[in-house]
Amino acid sequence: MLTTLLTIFVSSFIIALSGALMPGPLLTVTISESSQRGFVTGPLLIAGHAILELVLVAALLLGLAPFFQLPAVFVVSAIGGALILFWMAFGMFRSLPSLHLSLEGNSTRRNHPMISGILMSVANPYWIIWWATIGLGYILYSWKFGFWGIAFFFTGHILADLSWYSLVSAAVAGGRNFLTDRLYRGLIAVCAVFLVVFAGYFVYAGFTKLNAIIS
């Protein structure tokens, strides 16, 4: 049981980190605000982000769980999640030659970081796609192990976001670029490989369930 929970935690961390590493609204706000508010910007942004995602997970489990637990729904979410993972990995591999992490932000002061964390998450269409496919598949799988399955999944997911955005905040607030483009591309490449592996697993799980339904 513990081994399974740790596997959920590690895989959740890696998949979430893969999404966090790619430039998006949250990264833009983190860079912009960290030069003014300091290192605390990253953790506060992710705190708001985590509150929104916790509400979403709770809603899925408390109100929509019976529907999402249908075998057919699992098949669709697993295969759909795999396609999204493959698509993300392809995009990450394709962007490697020209990918760079710009640590330049503007000086405009925005909302409180926790509010920005919520707003930027909702404003990002990829966030919605992720939870409708990959996130849903992971919730369904983790729910098989009850509360602890969900707890390990969510903790790994949030720690990935917290680790990356705290690192970016530290880089910007410290006034030096210790995150080189070479290191950034290396992280992206490693995560892309993991995405392919996880996508393959989701395809296998989805078609295995589909075969069971047909039989």
Going residue by residue through the chain, which has 215 residues, state the pLDDT in tens, using 9 for 90 and above: 889 999 999 999 998 888 888 777 787 778 777 767 778 989 999 999 999 999 888 887 777 766 766 788 778 877 887 887 788 788 878 888 887 765 555 545 557 889 888 887 876 656 776 787 788 888 888 988 988 999 999 999 999 999 999 998 888 777 655 667 787 778 778 878 887 888 888 888 888 888 888 87
Which pLDDT value is given to residue 71? 82
Which pLDDT value is given to residue 130? 79
Domain coordinates in residue numbering, the chain:
2-214
Q: Residue 103 class from Cβ within 10 Å (0-12 exposed, 13-18 middle, 19+ buried)?
A: middle
Is the Cβ–Cβ distance between 20 and 188 less than 8 Å?
Answer: no
Which pLDDT value is given to residue 159? 96
d(CA 11, CA 84): 16
Global pTM?
Answer: 0.72
